[in-house]
Amino acid sequence: MRDGGYEWEHQGKLVTIFSAPNYCDQMGNKGAFIHLSRSAGLKPVFTQFDAVPHPPVRPMQYANMLAS
């Protein structure tokens, strides 16, 4: 888990991307994704995002429909 959704490590040779915001509904972290574009010289562009509220459905509600 990374608080900001991503983190450079190992003297800038590795980046960890963590795309699950508010991990386990309790960490308060951001999620992130990375975009590499050939036209931009493969310079990484990071987008961070916050969690959104869960829809009002019971856990596994949709999985039960598949069993029918």
pLDDT at 55 (0 to 100):
84
Gap between the Cα atoms of 14 and 65, Å rounded: 42
Gap between the Cα atoms of 67 and 49, Å rounded: 34
- pLDDT digits (tens), the chain, 68 positions: 999 999 999 999 999 999 999 998 899 999 999 999 999 999 999 999 999 998 888 777 777 665 55
Do residues 31 and 4 touch, judged by C-beta distance below 8 A? no
The residue among 24, 23, 41, 44 whose CA lies nearest residue 33 is: 44
